[in-house]
Structure 1
């Protein structure tokens, strides 16, 4: 019996995915989560998940952080991205960082079913129109991804705010923590990424 996990904070699309799974895999076990923290918790509790359908952008995850963290922590679990983003660059990077598939949210239920079926059969799946356009991820980006995977979700959130030029006080207010806590996160970020200042962090993330 298959076990699917759907990680998406948008109820309408989450229900659409669940509907496809229930229709074509009626005996499957299905679990759900709505942010990166709860997704990681579910994956830690369940080592029998056959496919994770992961929203590219949900609370706790921006860009490819969720995918990178899951692939680092749970390399044996196949992951398909589900996203409203339909840019070839994003799809290329997601596949280059270990996704088994990339399902745009504009896909019909029939196409979603075909994608899931292909991935469950061990194939890699992207929409037909993107198959000839994907480019590989370079070694430098993969090395950076490995470092980013060591960050906690809170540290990554701080890093994302730093990339946007936010001050420590602004970051603390937005996250509901003290400025001292923000500084502690930044110290840990610098250590894990092998850098020594905010400018290096911003440049690094702009290239990511």
Structure 2
């Protein structure tokens, strides 16, 4: 089951999963409610790939709602919000895995094979993040800000929604103790690494 409210991403994900060489039936939904309705009819899904931000669920709430009713169901998060805290929270709340929407086809295919086989899949800690305190996505967004791009342009360039870019900018503001893009740029210019 693929649960994502962006039809284009959901269809691309379905196409990728269908080509990884396992005999798997793929079903799609765009809300937690639609997923729960489908699971009420047939709870035999081997794996749910779940976006974190849906029209009827924000953040980890969707995962918690599913796990409350189907505790044995393997649910992996597929999200553009891929910072260390989000991944750790998903894992602590019972996710079987976490796949970044920035992952390539090879990584996505490997993750799905492991998850369908009953394993778990979580990204390894990024050594760059340990050095500079930023996730890979935050670093790419900061680069876009440095180049003078608007949120919409950064979102387009990185294949993210504008809301996701704003979410990561808020995280950057918090990490760097600033309140504006100008302050972020000024601080980032003098930041080592």
TM-score by length of structure 1 reads 0.58
Match of 2:6 among 3, 10, 17: 10
CA distances 1:58-109 after superposition (whole Å, capped 9, x unpaired):
1100111100010110112100001010110011000000000001100011
Match of 1:118 among 114, 119, 142: 114
Question: RMSD in angstroms over aligned alpha carbons?
Answer: 1.9
Structure-1 residue corresponding to 2:123: 127
1:60 aligns with 2:56: yes
Q: CA deviation at 1:123?
A: 2.0
1:78 aligns with 2:109: no
CA distances 1:139-184 after superposition (whole Å, capped 9, x unpaired):
xxxxxxxxxxxxxxxxxxxxxxxxxxxxxxxxxxxxxxxxxxxxxx
Match of 1:33 among 11, 29, 33: 29
Q: CA deviation at 1:25?
A: 4.0
Q: Which runs of 4+ in 1 moved over 4 A?
A: none
Q: Distance in 2 between matches of 1:49 and 1:25?
A: 18
Q: Distance in 1 between matches of 2:124 and 2:32?
A: 29
CA distances 1:103-129 after superposition (whole Å, capped 9, x unpaired):
110001111001111112222111233
Structure-2 residue corresponding to 1:107: 103
Match of 1:98 among 94, 99, 108: 94
Q: Distance in 2 between matches of 1:111 and 1:75?
A: 26
- Count the aligned residue pairs: 129
Q: Distance in 2 between matches of 1:28 and 1:15?
A: 15
- The answer on whether the counterparts of 1:16 and 1:109 sit within 8 Å (CA) in structure 2 is no
Which runs of 5 or more residues in structure 2 are unaligned? 131-193
Q: Which moved more, 1:91-100 or 1:27-36?
A: 27-36
Q: Distance in 2 between matches of 1:101 and 1:26?
A: 19
TM-score by length of structure 2 reads 0.62
Q: Distance in 2 between matches of 1:21 and 1:13?
A: 12
